[in-house]
Amino acid sequence: MEPRILIIIAAAILGVSCSIPAEPTTNNTSTITAAPPQTPQPTIAPTPAIPNLQAELTDPKNSTTAFAIGTFDFKNYTYELPRGWQNPDGSTEITLVNGKVAPVETNTNDKMEDAAKAAAKAERRIGLSYVATKYFDVTGDGEDDAVVVLKIETGGSAIPQVAYVFTWKDGKPELIWPFRTGDRADGGLKNVFAENGMFVVELYGQDRFLLGEIETGKIGDDVEQLCCPTHFTRSAYKWNGKNFLMQGKRLTFLTADPTAAPVENLGDKDNNPQKSKK
């Protein structure tokens, strides 16, 4: 074969080999995409339940008695209005019918004449509703007496209460001590019971107790939400034939731990810094 022909063939082979595309390089390493950082989700605490501040009063304990006073219908009875809760017309009594009497509300506004506004206010009336009756001996005569607890209905959000202590005399109840209490954490009534021959009253708040027919006010640092009292006070009273007189010390407990040691006569220390240091 001539040299020129060999050169042509070699050039053709070389051209064909150069025109074959190269196979792509395979990368066997998998690509890993990093996950985005997780945003911490806020933990939502459950809303605490509002405590039932009348649980002990409405408990069935001491709600019946075999003595005659237990047969009386205190849901249909005429009560004297507590001190500070008299009606605008000066009336001092109110009659429950089936455990309730609704308040009478009237509205006033700045556009009303003074005479019309005064007339509207004069028509307002306090309401009452039955809460419970507790039976135990608080006079020391060996027979059960009755403590009737009613809630004052004002038409507003406040729920003060009033208690009436009755003994049984001549075939009917005889009122021997009416007293009012405050609104929930502000001196509201927690419980009543008899213990060691005395009448025990528990009021919500720090060093809250009874003076005659009314509850005492707040001491200096007693700041609480009305719905949720953090303290309650236990005080004891003894019947002397005419009145109930306080006995012993006033004990302030924590509502969260009523078994913890109470603070004695807390208001005395609060009002007398020198005495509190002793």
Quick one: three-class SS letters along 220-231?
Answer: CCCCCCCCCCCE
Predicted confidence at residue 6, as pLDDT, reads 44
Region 229-247: mean pLDDT is: 97
Predicted confidence at residue 244, as pLDDT, reads 98
The pLDDT-based confidence of 173 (bands split at 50, 70, 90) is: very high
Region 272-277: mean pLDDT is: 51
pLDDT digits 0-9 by tens, 56-77:
999 999 999 999 999 999 999 9
Q: What percent of the chain has pLDDT over 70?
A: 79
Nearest Cα residue to 125 out of 83, 92, 164, 150: 92
Region 238-258: mean pLDDT is: 97
Region 7-14: mean pLDDT is: 45
Pairwise CA distance, residues 262 & 257, whole Å: 10
Sorted by where each begins, the domain ranges of the chain are 68-276
**Predicted TM-score of the model (pTM):** 0.79
Predicted confidence at residue 111, as pLDDT, reads 86
Predicted confidence at residue 258, as pLDDT, reads 95
Pairwise CA distance, residues 276 & 262, whole Å: 15
Q: Which residue has the higher pLDDT, 159 or 215?
A: 215
**25: pLDDT strictly greater than 70:** no
Q: What Å distances lie between residue 134 and 72, 131, 166, CA to CA?
A: 13, 10, 10
Region 138-164: mean pLDDT is: 93
Predicted confidence at residue 40, as pLDDT, reads 66
Q: What Å distances lie between residue 238 and 79, 194, 205, 220, CA to CA?
A: 23, 10, 22, 28
Beta strands in the chain (DSSP E): 78-80, 93-95, 100-101, 127-136, 145-153, 160-169, 172-183, 189-195, 198-204, 210-211, 214-215, 231-239, 244-254, 263-264
Burial 197-216 (b: 16+ CB within 10 A, else e): ebbbbbbbbbbbbbeeeebb
**11: pLDDT strictly greater than 50:** no
pLDDT digits 0-9 by tens, 104-131:
888 888 888 888 888 888 887 889 999 9
Mean pLDDT of the chain: 85
